């Protein structure tokens, strides 16, 4: 598998799209409303649009698409950093090998289990497990043992982790097969930047310096049978318009070669990190306005790919972009291994980057509920084998919605019964009652009501 990102082609597409005609932009927005996605050339025309009226139309369309495909759901997860040793020297990362001030940690299995207990007691069911890239301190054996450990942790009230997504350095097909056998959900890997020259500057040494090995990782994961993959770019390293097209070309290549595009796209923006020059002074900072714009345009370009927003962003920005197409969010995150157990005033000494949203998961859940979203802890598709192409077959005709909405309500109820503070419970119960009333199909309404009653009587882990 060869590197398929063509810098020149992306640059030409962006140059050709400069100063787009209003009528053409309106046509593309209308096409996007059909929920079939738009091409890189069309995406470039939207990216080059500076007319605020048209940008308002892009935002409105992104909201419509988000509603049509995902409804008000926001799926919650927590990142779990297990080790911060790293043999790379990425200029934007606190874990980089030349950061001598970082407290290096590789959690033991007992420490990992303790972290997971904390997360389960906060109500989390879905983790993203991560570590630095280091041959001995973050080996695949270690990572797989950590996954097994985390799945094995059970706490009171049926607390358990039901899906672990994995973010680990690119592997070969045999190693990806081992990762699949460990029952991961999505394999997540960010290209960081799709611009080759910037990539070389940002990754001066270590195995990560190999752009092609990284950009083809998702193809190898698919070859190994991992059909849910998540791509991402770290916004701020290069021109954001270029990165959006890079993500799109990556998605299209996967669709062409593997029959299914990425399950998710992550859109982290650079945040300050200890002794990481590119994070302290981003080479191409992305303003809040442009960030909103890029989220909305991605929603129009790849409507069926989930968009993940992390706690790098502040609550104010998070609240603004949820409606524009975000479908998954982290909450209560720590980016230092061991950070969930300790009171983290010293945690920054071991952290990958600083956080913009430091609220507890319960505070986030209360806020998003009040704003009209439905917090979801659903893991049903993964557990029922609705992944990859099978997932898309259901998602594209709009069938997945019918499972997702019900499962969001049921898993939210589980959270309210077992983990919520009294104010969150009050807001949540009110929201669930309204959602049940608003359920258009009478049979679905009855099913949800019956299951909610069973949950009140003690039953758990119900999904369709």
- Per rule CB under 6 A, is residue 88 in the interface with ligand SF4? yes
- Per rule CB under 6 A, is residue 431 in the interface with ligand SF4? no
Rounded to the nearest angstrom, the gap between the alpha carbon of residue 348 and the centroid of all alpha carbons in its chain is: 22
Spatial contact of 222 and 187, defined as CB atoms under 8 Å apart: no
Q: Which is nearer to ligand SF4, 46 or 93 (CB)?
A: 93
Angle 28-31-37 from CA coordinates, rounded to 5°: 95
In the block, tokens 């002794």 appear at 275
d(CA 360, CA 122): 9
Binding residues for ligand SF4, rule CB under 6 A, total 9
Q: Which is nearer to ligand SF4, 355 or 420 (CB)?
A: 355
Question: Can you spell out the DSSP letters for 120-169?
Answer: HHTT--EEEEEE---TTTT-HHHHHHHHHHHHH--BTTTB---EEEEE--
CA distances from 86 to 10, 186, 227, 387, 399 (A): 32, 22, 27, 31, 43
In the block, tokens 């990190």 appear at 273
Query: Minimum distance between the CB of residue 140 and ligand SF4, rounded to whole angstroms?
Result: 15
Q: Which stretch binds ligand SF4 (CB under 6 A): 86-94, 145-153, 386-394, 435-443?
A: 86-94
In the block, tokens 């796209």 appear at 265
Per-residue contact flags (x/-) with ligand SF4 for residues 201 to 240, judged by CB under 6 A: -------x--------------------------------
Query: Minimum distance between the CB of residue 223 and ligand SF4, rounded to whole angstroms?
Result: 23
What is the crossing angle of helices 315-322 and 361-370, to 10°?
40
d(CA 238, CA 28): 25
Spatial contact of 226 and 272, defined as CB atoms under 8 Å apart: no
Among positions 132, 261, 325, 338, the unique one binding ligand SF4 when judged by CB under 6 A: 132
Q: Which stretch binds ligand SF4 (CB under 6 A): 5-13, 38-46, 88-96, 400-408?
A: 88-96
Among positions 115, 133, 271, 313, the unique one binding ligand SF4 when judged by CB under 6 A: 133
Query: Minimum distance between the CB of residue 135 and ligand SF4, rounded to whole angstroms?
Result: 12
- Per rule CB under 6 A, is residue 312 in the interface with ligand SF4? no
Q: Which is nearer to ligand SF4, 216 or 327 (CB)?
A: 216
Q: Which is nearer to ligand SF4, 90 or 116 (CB)?
A: 90
Among positions 47, 80, 90, 254, the unique one binding ligand SF4 when judged by CB under 6 A: 90
Spatial contact of 335 and 81, defined as CB atoms under 8 Å apart: yes
Q: Which is nearer to ligand SF4, 208 or 373 (CB)?
A: 208
Spatial contact of 224 and 104, defined as CB atoms under 8 Å apart: no
Query: Minimum distance between the CB of residue 380 and ligand SF4, rounded to whole angstroms?
Result: 31
Per-residue contact flags (x/-) with ligand SF4 for residues 91 to 110, judged by CB under 6 A: --x-xx--------------
Q: Which is nearer to ligand SF4, 88 or 198 (CB)?
A: 88
Spatial contact of 72 and 374, defined as CB atoms under 8 Å apart: yes
Measuring CA to CA, which residue among 49, 43, 47, 41 is closest to residue 23? 49
Q: Which stretch binds ligand SF4 (CB under 6 A): 43-51, 83-91, 246-254, 384-392?
A: 83-91
Query: Minimum distance between the CB of residue 228 and ligand SF4, rounded to whole angstroms?
Result: 21
Helices (H) and strands (E) in the chain, counts: 20, 9
Per-residue contact flags (x/-) with ligand SF4 for residues 37 to 76, judged by CB under 6 A: ----------------------------------------
Query: Minimum distance between the CB of residue 280 and ligand SF4, rounded to whole angstroms?
Result: 15
Q: Which stretch binds ligand SF4 (CB under 6 A): 27-35, 90-98, 160-168, 381-389?
A: 90-98
Alpha-helical runs (H) found in 138-259: 140-152, 173-181, 196-202, 211-215, 217-223, 240-258
Q: Which is nearer to ligand SF4, 192 or 367 (CB)?
A: 192
Positions touching ligand SF4 (CB under 6 A) are 86, 88, 90, 93, 95-96, 132-133, 208
């Amino acid at each position: 598998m060869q590197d398929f990102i063509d810098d020149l082609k992306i640059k030409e597409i962006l140059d050709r799209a400069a100063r787009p005609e209003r009528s053409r932009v309106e046509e593309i927005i209308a096409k996007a409303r059909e929920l079939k996605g738009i091409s890189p050339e069309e995406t470039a025309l939207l990216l080059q649009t500076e007319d605020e009226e048209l940008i308002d139309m892009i935002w409105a369309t992104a909201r419509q698409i988000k509603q049509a495909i995902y409804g008000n759901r926001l799926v919650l997860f927590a990142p779990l950093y297990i080790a911060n040793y790293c043999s790379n020297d990425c200029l934007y990362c606190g874990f980089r090998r030349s950061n001598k001030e970082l407290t290096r940690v590789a959690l033991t299995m007992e420490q990992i289990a303790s972290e997971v207990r904390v997360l389960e007691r906060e109500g989390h069911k879905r983790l993203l497990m991560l570590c630095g890239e280091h041959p001995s301190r973050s080996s695949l054996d270690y990572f797989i043992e950590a996954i097994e450990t985390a799945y094995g942790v059970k706490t009171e009230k049926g607390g358990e982790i039901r899906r672990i997504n994995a973010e680990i350095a690119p592997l070969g097909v045999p190693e990806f097969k081992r990762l699949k056998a460990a029952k991961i959900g999505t394999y997540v890997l960010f290209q960081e930047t799709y611009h080759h020259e910037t990539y070389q500057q940002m990754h001066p040494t270590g195995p990560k310096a190999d752009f092609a090995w990284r950009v083809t990782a998702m193809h190898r994961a698919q070859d190994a049978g991992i059909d849910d993959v998540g791509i991402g770019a770290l916004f701020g390293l290069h021109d954001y318009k270029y990165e959006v097209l890079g993500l799109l070309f990556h998605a299209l290549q996967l669709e062409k070669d593997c029959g299914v595009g990425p399950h998710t796209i992550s859109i982290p923006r650079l945040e300050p990190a200890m002794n990481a020059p590119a994070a302290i002074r981003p080479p191409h900072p992305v303003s809040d306005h442009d960030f909103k714009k890029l989220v909305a345009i991605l929603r129009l370009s790849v409507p069926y790919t989930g968009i993940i927003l992390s706690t790098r962003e502040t609550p104010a920005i998070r609240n603004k972009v949820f409606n524009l197409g975000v479908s998954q969010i982290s909450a209560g995150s720590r980016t230092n291994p061991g950070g969930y157990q300790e009171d983290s005033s010293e945690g920054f000494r071991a952290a990958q980057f600083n956080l913009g949203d430091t609220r507890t998961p319960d505070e986030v859940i209360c806020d998003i509920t009040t704003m009209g979203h439905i917090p979801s802890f659903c893991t049903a598709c993964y557990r029922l084998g609705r992944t990859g192409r099978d997932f898309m077959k259901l998602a594209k005709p709009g069938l997945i919605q019918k499972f997702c909405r019900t499962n969001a309500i049921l898993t939210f109820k589980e959270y309210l019964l077992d983990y919520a503070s009294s104010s969150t419970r009050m807001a949540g119960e009110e929201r669930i009652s309204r959602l049940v009333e608003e359920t258009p199909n009478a049979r679905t309404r009855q099913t949800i009501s019956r299951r909610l009653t069973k949950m009140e009587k003690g039953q758990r882990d119900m999904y369709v």
